Amino acid sequence: MWTDMSEIVRPTRDGIHGREYISTTVDIGARPTYLDFRQGGPWSPPREIPIPMILDAANAGTPPAGILAAFVGAAKALETYAVVPAKSWAAVGVEPADRVIVRLTDGEVTGFERAAGVEATYHTWDGADLGTLRKTLPHGILSLRVPLSTYEREAADVALDAGADLIHFTCDWKDVDTISGINQYIRSLRDLHARLLEVSRRDAISVLASGPIAAAEHVPKTIILGADAVGVDLALYAVMECVPPNHALHLGRFPEEFPLSDVPWGTQRIVNLMNAWRDQLLEIMGAMGMREVRRLRGETGRAIFQDEAEREAFGDIKVRQPAKEVVAR
């Protein structure tokens, strides 16, 4: 997958910090198309985050105390959110709790009132008890985690019916180690975006995509596929010079060796990385002539897909049959 720049845009010498302002703010939650005062009940406005990136500390398992503190501290500094596993919730301080989305295990419902929101996992056999969670946290962020391995279009309907704010489409790192795995991830994310458009509910819920996000270029590419924001996990361990849990990469020390004294250093490293990725996002949006990252969502016309390009270029080419051998008399 490659991004396709506009041929009619002529960038000025002012660069990304010149006269033209480019917005990277995105919304997490439903954006109503009209106001309806006939029905009561809780409603919470969408939350704005200044960058389309959320820190996913739960995709790699349960992080140690030092890693967790760096994740949460960076989310607080960046004014975004960090997804942490329920086992780590007790270690989160009171001050940054409003920037934490807790990923629940089966059966957990209460005890997370201080958090910004909670996240349940979608199961194909019984779905998720989102209705109970919505009643427990009427004004919090309610997220439905949909793994690539169990993805189906009905997951979007489950999230919409329960009034969820977020669909977290994710995958395990080993699921995208191959080209076929990457292609399946791309097709499934595009299909999820298309499903929300089919039922005319795209602005009723936000989509967070995480998993194979390892470089700055993956942020605009994932948004082009239909996501509102991306979840970053593997790159955060790399920037802190740590080996991710349950991963074969050897990037440095193990997370258990990350001391609490290095938390300010790790926090600043994450902040620097996310700001650098934001600058790269500004560069690519400036080349496209776009002034708002919200408009980039689902704009597949701004991308070139390898399988589609090969089909257009070589699809009509037929194999030539070998000529019959002519025997000279």
pLDDT digits (tens, 9 = 90+) for 183-196: 899 999 999 999 99
Q: Is pLDDT of 107 > 80? A: no
84, 68 Cβ separation under 8 angstroms: yes
pLDDT for residue 240 = 87
Where does the pLDDT of residue 293 fall: very low under 50, low under 70, confident under 90, or very high at 90 and above? very high
- Higher-pLDDT residue of 116, 16: 116
Q: Is pLDDT of 42 > 70? A: no
| pLDDT > 70 fraction of the chain, expressed in percent and rounded | 84
Q: Is pLDDT of 94 > 90? A: no
Calpha distance 244→57 (Å, rounded) = 10
Tens digits of residue pLDDT in 135-172: 878 788 999 999 998 899 999 999 998 888 999 999 88
Give the domains, in start order, of the chain with CATH numbers: 15-32+42-302 (3.20.20.70)
| pLDDT > 90 fraction of the chain, expressed in percent and rounded | 37
User: Which helix (H) or strand (E) is 76 found in, with range?
Assistant: helix 65-78
Q: Is pLDDT of 328 > 90? A: no
* Structure tokens belonging to residue 102: 């807790």
pLDDT for residue 51 = 96
Distance of CA 148 to the CA centre of its chain: 13
* Structure tokens belonging to residue 76: 């607080």
141, 29 Cβ separation under 8 angstroms: yes
Q: Which residues pair with 209 in a beta bridge?
A: 169, 230
End-to-end CA distance of the chain: give it in Å, rounded.
Answer: 56
pLDDT for residue 303 = 87
174, 154 Cβ separation under 8 angstroms: no
Where does the pLDDT of residue 12 fall: very low under 50, low under 70, confident under 90, or very high at 90 and above? low
Nearest to 148 by CA among 119, 180, 117: 180
Phi, psi of 73 (to 5 degrees): -65, -40
pLDDT for residue 198 = 94
Alpha helices by DSSP H, listed for the chain, are 65-78, 130-136, 154-161, 179-198, 218-224, 234-239, 263-288, 306-314
Tens digits of residue pLDDT in 61-88: 678 888 889 999 999 999 999 999 888 8
297, 290 Cβ separation under 8 angstroms: no
pLDDT for residue 165 = 92
Q: Which residues pair with 143 in a beta bridge?
A: 119, 166
Note the pTM of the prediction, 2 decimals. Answer: 0.86
pLDDT for residue 187 = 92
pLDDT for residue 65 = 85
